[in-house]
Amino acid sequence: MWATNLRIIGIVLGTLALYTLIANKIPQVQSEVPHALTLGANVTPEQLVAAGDQLYHGAGGCTACHGLGTRAPNLLTDEKGLGPIGARCGKREAGKDCKAYLYESLTSPRAYVVSGYEPIMPEMGRILSPQQIWALVAFLESQSGTVDVTASDIPAASGPAASAAPAASGGGGPGIAGGSTEPMTIIRGAGCTGCHKVGTEGGAIGPNLTHVGSRLSAALIRECILKPDTRVAKGYEKFVGVMPKMFGNQLTGAQLEALVQFLSSQK
Ligand code: HEC
Ligand code: HEC
């Protein structure tokens, strides 16, 4: 056990050293996430709602779970007689108005879990920028409610660079978890353990990754992270589309490779 652990640590450290050296040469892999959502100080509620609408139906990945009628509550249509999300968001938690509840639903979904559902919603603040989160809040409010998100809710964006920066909580630098290349820090920071078991930690929505290296090559693991839908894990056909698609944009090149090497060494 210890010998294996030491070997893994050795491999990881070696790989990290290598990739730290060439990190700057690895280009960021592009995925379909709209990068530059630049919402300036003059943004109107209509612009926010339109941006949120696009995210909701597109790269935000919300429709993988919402709107199917079973996996997650309906948001755009009635849910159990309470109306669309804009009509019920102010009544979910005592003392939380609609805006505060929606922001919490997106950034800490486990704080209030709608009864009758599993806590499988990813923490969107790790995946989307603050601008994108607020655009989604505005869009959800517009579903039979009142849009009261204003430019002052949105942290100042100083150009495309700022708007492209991930909203990793506690982050800071580029990449997830402040750009750390320590594999378990990336795995926790990216929210992988929200769905996957890795060793003794994590959930059971996706395949257990503890021995993933014995069934998938490094190349396949990389592909699963960058394009989750191209190769569906056996037995998980019903969960196609649940794994977020924007890790390619959020991880730095060095983080992606550290993650791939770590997972492929989990035999
Ligand atoms: C992996 C599946 C999944 C994805 C992807 C997902 N959600 Fe959810 N969401 C859920 C589940 C399940 C619940 C109910 C349990 C809970 O409250 O966490 C929920 C709850 C919510 C709620 C609270 C609903 C209510 O009736 O109070 C909101 C708002 C919400 N999600 C918005 C979104 C948005 C916006 C996106 C896309 C950015 C999204 N979700 C992506 C599964 C998901
Ligand atoms: C919201 C849940 C969710 C999150 C978050 C998530 N995944 Fe997944 N993942 C899944 C599901 C469901 C599958 C199986 C369906 C599929 O293959 O698309 C999967 C499949 C995989 C596979 C293929 C496994 C196999 O045995 O074929 C790998 C590798 C993987 N994920 C790695 C990751 C990594 C690394 C992260 C974090 C950067 C992550 N996932 C985040 C849900 C998730």
Residue 238 in any domain: the answer is yes
Q: Which of 139, 158, 177 is the last residue of a domain?
A: 158
Residue 225 in any domain: the answer is yes
Number of domains in the chain: 2
pLDDT in tens, 90-99: 999 999 999 9
At 135 the pLDDT is 95
Other beta carbons less than 10 A from residue 13's beta carbon: 10
Shared domain for 173 and 255, answered yes or no, is yes
Pocket test for ligand 2, best of 65, 243, 246, 252 (most atoms within 8 A of CB): 243
- Nearest-ligand number for the alpha carbon of 240: 2
Confidence of residue 7 (pLDDT cuts 50, 70, 90): low
For the Cβ of 83 lying below 6 angstroms from any atom of ligand 1, the answer is no
At 237 the pLDDT is 83
Residue 163 in any domain: the answer is no
Residue 72 sits in which domain range? 45-158
Other beta carbons less than 10 A from residue 80's beta carbon: 11
Do residues 130 and 138 make contact, with C-beta atoms less than 8 angstroms apart? Answer: no
- Nearest-ligand number for the alpha carbon of 102: 1
Ligand 2 centroid to Cα of residue 191, in Å, is 10
What is the rounded distance in angstroms from the CA atom of residue 208 to the CA atom of residue 199?
Answer: 9
Shared domain for 106 and 11, answered yes or no, is no
Shared domain for 14 and 56, answered yes or no, is no
Pick the more confident residue, 11 or 83: 83
At 214 the pLDDT is 96
Shared domain for 82 and 139, answered yes or no, is yes
Residue 200 in any domain: the answer is yes
Pick the more confident residue, 5 or 20: 5
Which amino acid is it at 192? Answer: C
Please compute the mean of the pLDDT values over residues 248-264 and round it to a whole number: 89
Q: Which of 140, 158, 176 is the last residue of a domain?
A: 158
Which amino acid is it at 17? Answer: A
Residue burial 116-153, b: 16+ Cβ < 10 Å; e: rest = eeeebbbbbbbbbbbbbbbbbbbbbbbbebebebebee
| Average predicted confidence (pLDDT) for the chain | 81
Q: Which of 135, 158, 181 is the last residue of a domain?
A: 158
CA 11 to chain centre: 28
Ligand 2 centroid to Cα of residue 205, in Å, is 9
Any idea what the CATH number is for the domain that residue 133 is in?
Answer: 1.10.760.10
Do residues 236 and 206 make contact, with C-beta atoms less than 8 angstroms apart? Answer: yes
**Rg, C-alpha atoms of the chain:** 19
What is the rounded distance in angstroms from the CA atom of residue 75 to the CA atom of residue 72?
Answer: 9
Shared domain for 181 and 144, answered yes or no, is no
Do residues 127 and 171 make contact, with C-beta atoms less than 8 angstroms apart? Answer: no
pLDDT in tens, 160-218: 433 333 433 333 446 788 888 999 999 988 889 888 999 998 888 889 999 999 999 99
Ligand 2 lining (C-beta closer than 6 Å): 122, 190-192, 194-196, 205-207, 212, 216, 221, 224-225, 228-229, 232-233, 236, 239-240, 242-244, 247, 259
For the Cβ of 79 lying below 6 angstroms from any atom of ligand 1, the answer is yes
Shared domain for 130 and 172, answered yes or no, is no
Shared domain for 58 and 154, answered yes or no, is yes
Pocket test for ligand 1, best of 65, 82, 242 (most atoms within 8 A of CB): 65
As to burial, measured by CB atoms within 10 angstroms (0-12 exposed, 13-18 middle, 19+ buried), residue 82 is: middle
User: What token pair was written down for 19?
Assistant: 């990739």
Any idea what the CATH number is for the domain that residue 202 is in?
Answer: 1.10.760
What is the rounded distance in angstroms from the CA atom of residue 263 to the CA atom of residue 160?
Answer: 33
Please compute the mean of the pLDDT values over residues 5-33 and round it to a whole number: 48
Residue 39 in any domain: the answer is no
Q: How far apart are the first and last CA of the chain?
A: 12
Shared domain for 77 and 118, answered yes or no, is yes
For ligand 1, atom 9: residue with the closest CA: 121
For the Cβ of 64 lying below 6 angstroms from any atom of ligand 1, the answer is yes
Shared domain for 199 and 146, answered yes or no, is no
Shared domain for 135 and 176, answered yes or no, is no
